[in-house]
Amino acid sequence: MTRRLLPLLLAPVALLAACGQRAPAPITGLVDATEIDVASKIPGRVKALAVREGDPVKEGQELVTIESQEVAAKIDQVKAAVDAARARLQIAERGARAEERQQARRALDTARSQLEVATKAHERATALLATGTITQAAFDEADFKFKAARDQLAVAQARHDLVIKGARAEEVEALRALVRQGQGSLAEVESYGRETVQTAPIGGEVAKILVHRGELAATGYPILTLVDRSDAWAVFPVREDLLGAVKVGTELDVEVPALRRRLPMTVFSVAPLGDFATWRATGEKGSFDLRTFEVKARPRQPDPELRPGMTARFAPALPAARR
């Protein structure tokens, strides 16, 4: 009886061995999560750090204070320029003061009186020159004083009109544009001033501090890194011959050894890896090399214990063509 059953029991094993049918080895990957680098737009020395590595932070929480004397000096400089432009605009819009108007009016009256005297002297000199009573030099002197008085009246008149009428509309608009330009420059430098205090752009955990208190922080260089553990996923390298059972939307039963339990995850991305690390020889005669794809799967529900760097693995199903 035993001899009759032995061939029947060995037949499936021999058939599987002949066909080369073996269950694929588990695929091992790593847990990853969203990371945000906190950096400043301005260079400066780190004055204070309000957090340490591993600390939880909330969005908007103060993290780093940077000391930059150059930015503070630039803000004061631009504020002074804006104040000067506003003062000039107010003078142009309000016009001259009462004292300045009175002074311009007096100067105009004086110039008119001087021109009247010079005109009479010029007329007498002209008549006397015709009769030969005065010399040419005396006439030239009277003529010069007459022309000078006439020019002085023109200048006094222009000054009077400018004081009474005020600045032209074009000049006022130019001063307004100068004020707007200064306000724009002030807003720009004040935005740099706000960069001296860095806050958390997201809620998460301080993963790493790269620049410590007293060190210089360069423009755009990360000072610290935040990780959002609520947005974690697992990354697996999957050969293309196993992609038939791993597609976007596929549910995976993922084991996380660090947590000693399994987590259901959903594939949300399948993309080829770089050529330098993706081609694998099959070792089979007449076959071709296989490429490796990067498969990302996110937990169905966020797990607070899941951390970046943890190992994750799942057992891929055999392709349908080999079953």
63 and 85 in a single domain? The answer is no
301 and 210 in a single domain? The answer is yes
Enclosing domain of residue 86? 81-186
203: Cβ–Cβ under 8 A, 6 or more apart, which residues? 56, 57, 58, 59, 228
Q: What is the pLDDT of residue 273?
A: 78
DSSP 8-state secondary structure symbol assigned to residue 244: G
146 and 102 in a single domain? The answer is yes
Domain boundary among 186, 212, 245: 186
Q: What angle do CA 206, 212, 216 make, to 5 degrees?
A: 130
| 45, 110, 120, 148 from 155: Cα distances, Å | 59, 12, 21, 11
Quick check: helix, strand or coil at residue 132? coil
**What tokens appear for 207 in the block?**
């993963």
45 and 128 in a single domain? The answer is no
305 and 210 in a single domain? The answer is yes
Q: Alpha-carbon distance 295 to 313, whole Å? A: 12
236 and 265 in a single domain? The answer is yes
| 302 located within any domain | yes
62 and 107 in a single domain? The answer is no
| 14 located within any domain | no
In 40-154, which ranges are E strands?
44-49, 56-57, 62-67
61 and 209 in a single domain? The answer is yes
Contact 181, 48 (CB under 8 A): no
33: Cβ–Cβ under 8 A, 6 or more apart, which residues? 227, 228, 229, 231, 232, 233, 307, 308
Contact 122, 143 (CB under 8 A): yes
Q: Alpha-carbon distance 245 to 259, whole Å? A: 26
Q: What is the CA radius of gyration of the chain?
A: 45
| 20 located within any domain | no
Quick check: helix, strand or coil at residue 311? strand
| 18 located within any domain | no
299 and 254 in a single domain? The answer is yes
| 236 located within any domain | yes
CATH number assigned to the domain comprising residue 241:
2.40.50.100
| 323 located within any domain | no
Contact 239, 283 (CB under 8 A): no
44 and 105 in a single domain? The answer is no
In total, how many domains does the chain have?
Answer: 2
| 300 located within any domain | yes
Contact 44, 216 (CB under 8 A): yes
161 and 207 in a single domain? The answer is no
Is the whole-model pTM more than 0.75?
Answer: no
Contact 247, 281 (CB under 8 A): no
Q: Alpha-carbon distance 13 to 3, whole Å? A: 17
Q: Which residue type occupies 122?
A: H
Question: One digit per residue, pLDDT tens: the chain, 323 residues?
Answer: 444 444 444 444 444 444 455 667 899 999 999 999 999 888 889 999 999 999 999 999 999 999 888 788 888 888 888 888 888 787 777 666 677 778 888 888 898 999 899 899 889 888 888 888 888 888 888 888 888 888 888 888 877 776 766 666 777 788 888 888 888 888 888 888 888 899 999 999 999 999 999 999 888 899 999 999 999 999 999 988 888 888 999 999 999 999 999 999 999 999 987 654 444 554 444 445 678 899 999 999 989 899 999 999 999 876 554 44
Q: What is the pLDDT of residue 130?
A: 85
The string over 97-132, giving b where at least 16 C-beta atoms fall within 10 Å of a residue's C-beta and e elsewhere, is: eeeeeeebeebbeebeebbeebeebbeebeeebeee
Q: What share of the chain is helix, strand, coil (3-state, %, to 5)?
A: 45, 25, 30
In the block, tokens 């108007």 appear at 101
Contact 222, 38 (CB under 8 A): yes
Q: Which residue type occupies 268?
A: F
Could you tell me whether strands 292-299 and 311-314 are parallel, antiparallel, or unpaired per DSSP bridges?
unpaired
116 and 170 in a single domain? The answer is yes
**What tokens appear for 76 in the block?**
């004061």
257: Cβ–Cβ under 8 A, 6 or more apart, which residues? 310, 311, 313
Domain boundary among 131, 160, 186: 186
| 93 located within any domain | yes
Domain boundary among 158, 186, 214: 186
**What tokens appear for 149 in the block?**
């008085």
